[in-house]
Amino acid sequence: MTELIDLSEVAGQAGKFDCFLEQVRDRFGFDHVAYLGSNPVAGTMHGYVTYPEEWKRHYTHQAYHLIDPTLRIAQRSIAPIDWSRIEQSDNFRLVFCAAREFGISDRGVTIPVRGPFGDTGMLSVTRDTDEHEWRAMIAHSIGDLQSIAVHMHDAVMNSDAFSNVLRRTPLSSREIEILQWTAAGKTQQDIADILNISHRTVEVHLRSAREKLFSLTTAQAIARAIAQHLIYPI
């Protein structure tokens, strides 16, 4: 499965993300703010949290990110998830009871956000308070939190992990045209008929596209062309 990486311990500009989360926490008056982003291409997860060091270590050591119901549900949801609406499963009790021992409340919200590559981010905020004040806090800040989640995910995904994927290969218009038709399910002969050329020529353009995309097969070229937004999968 995926491996949990704490980017704050990695070299570079990572510290600014932790700092950003602390600013969000202080500005909106939460106890803690946490971001967890997953990169399915690399098979990794990147986390930044304001949680105490001990809980961070315990969470990582117990691999809670594999069973945490908060993450599981947010991964399948479009809208923000209030933790009070999560089903009281065994995993729920396991994680939240452990959290309580580290002084972390079970009152919180997790906001999912997604990018175009199946990359997912989750921004969680929590505060130990009563129902009434919690509702007021969330109602007041949910819009900003939504924007913050998007901004955070955008920044993390553009920081390093995805920059190589976003590099675009210069294909000729004919190559893109033929790749697009191929992704649409047309055979080389079909495309030849559509463009009124020989199917041999279609194959040459596909070969050229394969070479430029460093692909061994046309299927791989299609995958890479989609990843680079050179063509559209539909």
Partner DNA sequence: TCGCGAGTACGGGATTTCCCGAATATCGGC
Partner DNA sequence: GCCGATATTCGGGAAATCCCGTACTCGCGA
Binding site for a second copy (CB under 8 A): 1-2, 40-41, 43, 75-80, 113-118, 120, 142-144, 146-147, 150-151, 153-154, 157, 182-187, 215-220, 222-224, 226-227, 229, 231-234
Q: Which of a second copy, DNA, none binds 197 (CB below 5-8 Å, type-dependent)?
A: DNA
Q: In 3-state terms, what secondary structure has residue 180?
A: helix
Q: Which of DNA, a second copy, none binds 140 (CB below 5-8 Å, type-dependent)?
A: none
What's the chain's Rg over C-alpha atoms? 23
Q: Which of DNA, a second copy, none binds 143 (CB below 5-8 Å, type-dependent)?
A: a second copy
Q: Interface residues with DNA (CB under 7 A)?
A: 170, 172-175, 187-189, 192, 195, 197-201, 203-208, 210, 216-218
H/E stretch holding 139 reads: helix 131-156
Q: Least separation, in Å, of the C-beta of 207 and a second copy? A: 14
Which are the contacts of 100, defined by CB distance < 8 A and separation ≥ 6? 106
Q: In 3-state terms, what secondary structure has residue 234?
A: coil
Q: In 3-state terms, what secondary structure has residue 6?
A: strand
Cβ distance to a second copy smaller for residue 11 or 216: 216
Report how far residue 217's alpha carbon sits from residue 8's, in angstroms, rounded to the nearest whole number: 39
